[in-house]
Amino acid sequence: MAFELPALPYDFGALEPHIDARTMEIHHDKHHAGYVNNANIALAGSEWADAGPCKILPDLASLPDSIRTAVRNNVGGHVNHSLFWSIMGPGCGGEPTGDLAEAITRDFGSFDGFKEAFAKAATTRFGSGWAWLGVKDASSGSLCVCSTPNQDNPLMRGMVDCECHPILGLDVWEHAYYLNYQNRRPDYVSAFWNVVNWAAVAEHFAKVTSGGGHYGCGG
Ligand code: MN3
């Protein structure tokens, strides 16, 4: 079953003024579509074609050398962007509540402490990559903040120094912000807090801590 580009769950302009409509349109319709297309090309005809991303990402080392890098970059890109769209929305921002808020306070001292750690991960990632909030241990619900280069995902076991179950990701590739923010990545990171859909992040958190697996993996 080939991967498909998921519809954006809101209009291109829904995140303005924080993320502009033109950036969202190019990002979803061109960049994400490209990852989906290239993932399907790489996997076509292989025994991994029907495996699904949640089988493929943790087991990249088992893929044939001939397709491993293309799969890493493009299945990674597909999964990363699908999560990214899901954790933003219009009229969002604010602070998390409930179990997720308690876990953030426990593991980062405060919500501000978390934001500071996340912004540091996002702004100090050299070149292209992602910043993540993830569940380090599903049974305890312990959280971590980290970053990956390129389209690497924290589910890529043995390939990244940031292994966890990601529940919130921020794309810090220049294509995610350059039209509006040019070189000012810290301004983009600050603006991101205004569009985070904490209810969606809390759903992803609950899915992991209840043993339901990672967002996008069914179950
Ligand atoms: Mn991107």
pLDDT tens for 32-72 read 999 999 999 999 999 999 998 989 999 999 999 999 999 99
Asked, for residue 181, whether it belongs to a domain, the answer is yes
Give how many domains the chain has, as a whole number.
2
Q: How far is the CA of 31 from the centre of ligand 1 (A)?
A: 6
pLDDT at position 93: 97
Q: How far is the CA of 105 from the centre of ligand 1 (A)?
A: 29
pTM to 2 decimal places: 0.97
| Ordered strands of the 165-171 beta sheet | 142-149, 129-137, 165-171
Length reported for the chain: 219
Range of the domain at 48: 20-86
Answer yes or no: do 150 and 182 share one domain.
yes
Answer yes or no: do 156 and 197 share one domain.
yes
Contact 102, 141 (CB under 8 A): no
Answer yes or no: do 107 and 80 share one domain.
no
Pick from 36, 64, 86: which residue ends a domain?
86
Residue 167 banded pLDDT, cuts 50, 70, 90: very high
| Cβ contacts of 171 within 8 Å, gap of 6 or more | 27, 80, 81, 84, 130
Answer yes or no: do 58 and 117 share one domain.
no
**Could you tell me the two tokens for 197?**
């859909």
Residue 219 banded pLDDT, cuts 50, 70, 90: very low
Q: How far is the CA of 81 from the centre of ligand 1 (A)?
A: 6
Residue 120 and residue 152: Cα distance in Å, rounded? 18
Buried b / exposed e along 74-100 (16+ C-beta atoms within 10 A)? bbbbbbbbbbbbbbbbeebbeebeeeb
Q: How far is the CA of 170 from the centre of ligand 1 (A)?
A: 9
Contact 189, 116 (CB under 8 A): no
Residue 111 has pLDDT above 60, yes or no: yes
Contact 125, 147 (CB under 8 A): yes
Asked, for residue 167, whether it belongs to a domain, the answer is yes
Pick from 37, 52, 86: which residue ends a domain?
86
Answer yes or no: do 106 and 82 share one domain.
no
Q: How far is the CA of 66 from the centre of ligand 1 (A)?
A: 24
- Triad 151, 154, 159: Cα angle to 5°: 80
Comparing C-alpha atoms, which of 120, 39, 126 is closest to residue 78?
39
**Could you tell me the two tokens for 55?**
């089988």
Comparing C-alpha atoms, which of 209, 107, 121, 127 is closest to residue 174?
127
Pick from 86, 113, 134: which residue ends a domain?
86
Q: What is the mean pLDDT of residues 101-129?
A: 98
pLDDT at position 208: 95
Answer yes or no: do 148 and 52 share one domain.
no
Contact 16, 25 (CB under 8 A): no
Q: What is the pLDDT of residues 129-161, one digit of tens each?
A: 999 999 999 999 999 999 999 999 999 999 999
**Could you tell me the two tokens for 119?**
């912004």
CATH number at residue 172: 3.55.40.20
Residue 62 and residue 41: Cα distance in Å, rounded? 18
pLDDT at position 101: 98
Q: What is the mean pLDDT of residues 182-209?
A: 97
Q: How far is the CA of 32 from the centre of ligand 1 (A)?
A: 7
pLDDT at position 213: 82
Q: How far is the CA of 176 from the centre of ligand 1 (A)?
A: 6
Answer yes or no: do 109 and 196 share one domain.
yes
Comparing C-alpha atoms, which of 112, 103, 68, 91 is closest to residue 195?
91
Q: How far is the CA of 106 from the centre of ligand 1 (A)?
A: 31
What integer best gives the mean pLDDT of the chain?
96
96 to 27, 92, 201, 202: CA distances (angstroms): 26, 10, 8, 7
Answer yes or no: do 104 and 45 share one domain.
no
